[in-house]
Amino acid sequence: MAAKLALVTGASGGIGHEFAKQLAQAGYNLALVARSKHKLERIAAELRAQFGIDAQVVVCDLSTPNAAHDVQTQVPECDVLVNNAGFANNGKFAQLDENATLEEIQVDIVALTQLTRVYLPGMIARKDGKILNVASTAGFLPGPNMAVYYAGKAYVISFSEALAEEVRGTGVTVTVLCPGATETGFAERSGTTTTPLFKLPMAKADDVAKAGIEGMMRGKSVVVPGITNKLVAISPKITPRRLLVAISGKAVEASETRPPS
């Protein structure tokens, strides 16, 4: 039988790169999606050489409308879909650049939803497939100073759990991974390197990817790696709401003011 194909978005670095590496090690052929052609080509070549798999490069900016359909044109179907791409803007919502905010919504919510809609029907028809959506522990909380990102990750969690129930018994599974702060380029891009949250010890990207893949393979609907992150996930149930919002906002409040994105 031909090797199965895993499509990974945001595959040019961080957790996405680790997803690609670990899936290649497990024998999956890959379709690697990101904006950076040179990074993707280098990663694809390395994975082909190391694991003997096929790796297709799909250069696409998921912040553009209908990007998911551009991806499908190049990759008509896949056996595993890893919706990993995402980014955040840090700052007061009213002061952030409007276009940057809309691009964040496009990548974190719209593209993820469209890619899932594009590939899920084929999986159901074949009675085989796995979808792994990357959310965050941020999705369990309201997030002053990163309001859109936190709300977007709440959408991803709710959306994924609902789909997991919808596809139950079809041979397809949907899993949502909710990591906390992780050693990737996320903090630099979002302007959160000086925040209290990212001054604390962070998880390793390879450990986070491993937890997500293991949970996906077991068909778990929600994966929250690490004791600290599990405590964050249950904090809305045990913490007064006003206090929770205040703590959440302080955790990602930058110690220096940045200009709008």
Confidence (pLDDT) at 189: 64
The region that residue 27 occupies, defined by phi over 0 for left and psi between -120 and 50 for alpha, beta otherwise, is left
149 counts as catalytic: yes
Mean pLDDT over 15-37 rounds to: 97
Lowest mean pLDDT among 125-129, 181-185, 240-244: 181-185
Confidence (pLDDT) at 201: 66
Mean pLDDT over 224-247 rounds to: 84
Do 133 and 173 contact (CB within 8 A), yes or no? Answer: no
Mean pLDDT over 26-42 rounds to: 97
Mean pLDDT over 237-257 rounds to: 78
Write down the number of H helices and E strands in the chain.
Answer: 10, 7
* DSSP string across 164-223: HHHTTTTTEEEEEE---SBSSSHHHHHT-TTSSGGGS--B-HHHHHHHHHHHHHTT-SEE
pLDDT in tens, 150-176: 999 999 999 999 999 999 999 999 999
pLDDT in tens, 51-92: 999 999 999 999 999 899 999 999 999 999 999 999 999 999
Confidence (pLDDT) at 260: 43
Amino acid letter, 119 = Y
Q: Using the 8-state DSSP alphabet, how is residue 14 labeled?
A: H
Confidence (pLDDT) at 37: 96
- What ranges do the domains of the chain cover? 5-251
Which residues fall within 8 angstroms of residue 53, CB to CB, at 6 or more apart?
A: 3, 24, 27, 28, 29, 30, 47
Q: Point out the catalytic residue in the list 28, 119, 149, 150.
A: 149
Mean pLDDT over 92-98 rounds to: 95
Do 211 and 177 contact (CB within 8 A), yes or no? Answer: yes
Of 5, 19, 172, the residue nearest 83 (C-alpha): 19
Predicted TM-score (pTM) of this structure: 0.89
pLDDT band at residue 261 under the 50/70/90 scheme? very low
Cα 210 off chain centre by: 14
Of 87, 82, 77, 76, the residue nearest 109 (C-alpha): 87
The kind and range of the H/E element at 58 are strand 55-59
pLDDT in tens, 114-150: 999 999 999 999 999 999 999 999 999 999 999 999 9
CA pseudo-torsion sign 183, 40, 57, 42: negative
Domain 5-251 has CATH 3.30.540.10: no
Confidence (pLDDT) at 228: 84
CA distance 24 to 28: 5
Residue 190 has pLDDT above 70, yes or no: no
More confident residue, 96 or 199: 96
The region that residue 5 occupies, defined by phi over 0 for left and psi between -120 and 50 for alpha, beta otherwise, is beta
CA distance 101 to 217: 34
Confidence (pLDDT) at 257: 46
Mean pLDDT over 102-125 rounds to: 98
Confidence (pLDDT) at 10: 96
